[in-house]
Chains A and B, each alone.
Chain A
Amino acid sequence: MAAPIKVFGPAMSTATARVLACLLESQLQFDLVPVDMSKGQHKKPEFLGIQPFGQVPAFQDEHISLFESRAICRYIVDKYTEKGKRGLLGMETLERASIEQWLEAESQSFNPPSSALVFQLAFAPRMKLKQDPNLIAQNEAKLSKVLDVYEQRLGDSRFLAGDEFTLADLSHLPNAQYLINATDRAALFTSRKNVNRWWEEISGRTSWKKVVEMQQTPLPSSSST
Chain B
Amino acid sequence: MVVKLHGPGFAAGPRRVAVCLFEKEVEFELINVDLFSGEHKNPDFLQLQPFGLVPVIQDGDLTLFESRAILRYCSEKYTGQGTELHGKTIEERALVEQWLEVESHNFNAPALSLVFQLMYASKLGIPQNEEEIKSSEEKLNKVLDVYEERLSKSKYLGGDFFSLADLTHLPLIHYLVHDCGKESLVKSRQHVSLWWEDISSRPSWKKVLELK
Contact = CB atoms under 8 A, between A and B. Distances in A.
A53 B106 contact: yes
A112 interface: yes
A67 B104 CA distance: 13
Interface residues of A, number: 32
Nearest to B13: A108
A153 interface: yes
Given A53-B106, A64-B91, A70-B101, A109 B73 contact: no
Contact of A112 (B76, B98, B109, B146): B109
Q: Which of B64, B66, B77, B90 has the most CB of A within 10 A?
A: B66
A75 B64 CA distance: 22
Contacts of B95: 64, 66
B98 A100 contact: no
Given A53-B106, A71-B97, A75-B94, A146 B73 contact: no
A94 interface: yes
A108 B66 contact: yes
A53 B102 contact: yes
B26 interface: no
Contacts, number: 85
A75 to B, nearest CB: 4
B100 A71 contact: yes
B98 A68 contact: yes
Contact of B76 (A74, A93, A107): A93
B120 to A, nearest CB: 19
A64 B66 CA distance: 28
Contacts of A98: 64
Interface in A34-53: 52-53
Nearest to B91: A64
| Contact count band on B | 20 to 34
Contacts of A6: none
Contacts of B101: 68-71, 107
A140 interface: no
Interface in A63-99: 63-64, 66-71, 74-75, 78-79, 93-94, 96-98
Contacts of A68: 97-98, 101-102, 105
Contact of B149 (A52, A93, A152): A52
21 contacts: A52-B149, A52-B150, A53-B146, A64-B94, A68-B98, A68-B102, A75-B94, A78-B94, A79-B94, A93-B76, A96-B76, A97-B69, A100-B66, A100-B72, A104-B67, A107-B68, A107-B101, A107-B105, A108-B66, A109-B51, A146-B51
Given A146-B51, A149-B50, 11 more contacts: A52-B150, A68-B98, A68-B102, A69-B101, A78-B93, A79-B90, A93-B76, A97-B62, A100-B72, A104-B67, A107-B105
Interface of B: 50-51, 62, 64-69, 72-73, 76-77, 90-91, 93-95, 97-98, 100-102, 104-106, 109, 143, 146, 149-150
Interface of A: 52-53, 63-64, 66-71, 74-75, 78-79, 93-94, 96-98, 100-101, 103-105, 107-109, 112, 146, 149, 152-153
